[in-house]
Amino acid sequence: MIKLPEIDFFHEDLKSGTLVWNQVKSQVHKALVEYGCFKASFDKISIHLKKSIFEVSQELFDLPLQTKLKNISTRPLHGYIGQCPQIPLYESLCIDGANIHNKAEKFTQTLWPQGKSSFCKTIQSYSEQLSKLDQIVNRMILESLGMEKYMDEHMNSTNYLLRLMKYKAPQSSETEMGMNVHTDRSNLTILYQNQVNGLQILTKDGQWINVDPTPDTFIVMIGDPLHAWTNGRLHAPYHRVIMRGKEARYSIGFFSIPKAGHIIKAPKELVDEDHSLLFKPFVHAEYLDFCYRAFNNTKEGMGCESILKTYYGV
């Protein structure tokens, strides 16, 4: 049985240049080349916060549909998603810039006009803490490719997005497919789930493996834009969610996403005789539009698995 690598980010002195940093960095690089993802233990999110994020998430999904629909976004697939015939078990709401206080507050006010400070505080501190893990992993990635000089440009061209997701348990006649096969539209995704498993990852040699994280671990995964930016050095795994059992699954996705107008283009240092350019430069907003169209047009739901190759392959 293949098991995803587990990497420990506990160390107090996890600073670039230290011995422990370099050790963790090489584990990160190896896992992302081989699997495109790994399990991460990260202690900056307290047990209390881990518990609260699911409590507030449940309260959010318990709101009437009319209220949840108020979460609209100018970017496709960034508002409310639910009641989709392709993926009937799935529901989600996105919070753009959830690590920034006034954005978290604006989202909260839209759904709870009378105020709900516990919700706002929880999503903001969860996002703020997880952005630290995102930054550590991004720095390790760039350093391990010798591309650290692009760190500021790389980080300044991304936004954070928090997506709260619920998958209800399937009735006996319903599909078990919670979310169909796809690769992510983010540079990096950090997932956290309640005790209900369901996430599966396709390995490079074509085997579906269950990702069954413990309450202590987050899943860190590469998405299409970073796969393209690294000119294929890092793998972006196909994944899906299969719902078995009788309990609802809540999961929290924390995404670092290129800004709408940002052009994703592999740096010249990563293109050479042994690594010819895999993808033409592309604007993230246009790529997201293709994903949105695929989402609406396919029976299978997400269905944007080959967007990168179809539209931008060299």
Ligand X SMILES: O=C(O)CCC(=O)C(=O)O
Interface with ligand X by CB under 6 A: which residues?
Answer: 163, 165, 179, 184, 191, 193, 199, 239, 241, 251, 253
Structure tokens at 53: 């994020």
Residue 296 beta carbon to ligand X: minimum distance, rounded to whole angstroms = 17
Between residues 133 and 179, which has the closer beta carbon with respect to ligand X? 179
Helices and strands, counts by H and E, the chain: 9, 14
Partner from ligand X, Fe ion, none binding residue 124, C-beta < 5-8 Å depending on class: none
Residue 221 beta carbon to Fe ion: minimum distance, rounded to whole angstroms = 7
Q: At CB < 8 A and 24+ separation, what contacts does 170-176 make?
A: 170/89, 170/243, 174/88, 174/89, 175/88, 175/89, 176/242, 176/243, 176/244
Residue nearest to ligand X (CB): 251
Q: At CB < 8 A and 24+ separation, what contacts does 97-101 make?
A: 97/159, 97/160, 97/161, 98/123, 98/124, 98/126, 98/127, 98/160, 98/161, 98/162, 99/124, 99/127, 99/128, 99/131, 99/160, 100/124
Residues in Cβ contact with 74 at an 8 Å cutoff, skipping those fewer than 6 apart: none
Residue 179 beta carbon to ligand X: minimum distance, rounded to whole angstroms = 6
Partner from ligand X, Fe ion, none binding residue 241, C-beta < 5-8 Å depending on class: ligand X
Partner from Fe ion, ligand X, none binding residue 81, C-beta < 5-8 Å depending on class: none
Instruction: Give the Cα separation of 3 and 231 in Å (integer).
Output: 26
Residue 212 beta carbon to Fe ion: minimum distance, rounded to whole angstroms = 16
Residue 278 beta carbon to ligand X: minimum distance, rounded to whole angstroms = 22
Residue nearest to Fe ion (CB): 184
Partner from Fe ion, ligand X, none binding residue 140, C-beta < 5-8 Å depending on class: none
Q: Which H/E stretch holds residue 201? A: strand 199-202
Between residues 94 and 147, which has the closer beta carbon with respect to Fe ion? 94
- Which positions lie near Fe ion, rule CB under 5 A? 184
Residue 215 beta carbon to ligand X: minimum distance, rounded to whole angstroms = 14
Partner from ligand X, Fe ion, none binding residue 199, C-beta < 5-8 Å depending on class: ligand X
Between residues 134 and 184, which has the closer beta carbon with respect to Fe ion? 184
Between residues 140 and 219, which has the closer beta carbon with respect to ligand X? 219
Contact 306, 236 (CB under 8 A): no
Structure tokens at 5: 């690598």
